[in-house]
Amino acid sequence: MRIDIAAVGRLRSGAEADLVSDYLQRFARTGRPLGLPAINVIEVEDKRGGGPQAEADLLDRAIPSGSALVMLDERGTQPTSPEFAERIAGYRDQARDLCFVIGGADGIEPALRQRADWQISFGRMVWPHMLVRVMLAEQLYRAATILAGSPYHRA
């Protein structure tokens, strides 16, 4: 199994980059004994201002073929953290590669979005994509702690 996050935009050094790096390191440490691999972040950037279609083309080329696609979108379903963890464990148990997709300022192009195996939302409000990256990294770490039975997730 491999897990990737394919995201539009380059995350420069700063608070968000530090948080993403910290949560992904924690995920790697907690996930290893559970059979969960370290997560790769794939960044794509369209410097010509081609909008969602150009970003979709770049994402399409960057997404590892055969991966189950989990798209981050405010219109998606809102799983609880334990449901999210269970779903990740399910992909692991099927030895299915997994790629999370985060769009750019104008969102994920509709045809690409329709290819999603699962669309998940962090609420109906729109968040900046770099913050969504932090939130996703935290939820992935939380999922690993839930699967490990560790006390991080207290709910």
Ligand X SMILES: C[S@@+](CC[C@H](N)C(=O)[O-])C[C@H]1O[C@@H](n2cnc3c(N)ncnc32)[C@H](O)[C@@H]1O
Cα–Cα dist 144/132, whole Å = 18
Task: Report residue 112 as tokens.
Answer: 């690409």
Burial of 111 (0-12, 13-18, 19+ CB in 10 A): exposed
Minimal distance, residue 127 CB to ligand X, in Å: 4
Asked if 72 touches ligand X (CB under 6 A), the answer is: yes
Contact mark string toward ligand X, 105..144, x via CB under 6 A: xxxx------------xxx-xxxxx--x------------
Chosen residue from 73, 85, 92, 145 binding ligand X by CB under 6 A? 73
Q: Is there a contact between 127 and 32 (Cβ–Cβ < 8 Å)?
A: no
Q: How far apart are the first and last CA of the chain?
A: 29
Cα–Cα dist 152/155, whole Å = 9
Asked if 49 touches ligand X (CB under 6 A), the answer is: no
Q: Is 31 labelled as part of a ligand binding site?
A: no
Q: Is 127 labelled as part of a ligand binding site?
A: yes
- If the CB atoms of residues 33 and 128 are measured against ligand X, the closer one turns out to be 128
Cα–Cα dist 153/133, whole Å = 19
Minimal distance, residue 6 CB to ligand X, in Å: 10
Quickly count: other Cβ atoms within 10 Å of residue 107's Cβ: 20
Chosen residue from 92, 100, 103, 145 binding ligand X by CB under 6 A? 103
Which stretches of the chain bind ligand X, using CB under 6 A? 72-74, 102-103, 105-108, 121-123, 125-129, 132
Annotated binding residues for S-adenosyl-L-methionine, as ranges?
72, 103, 122-127
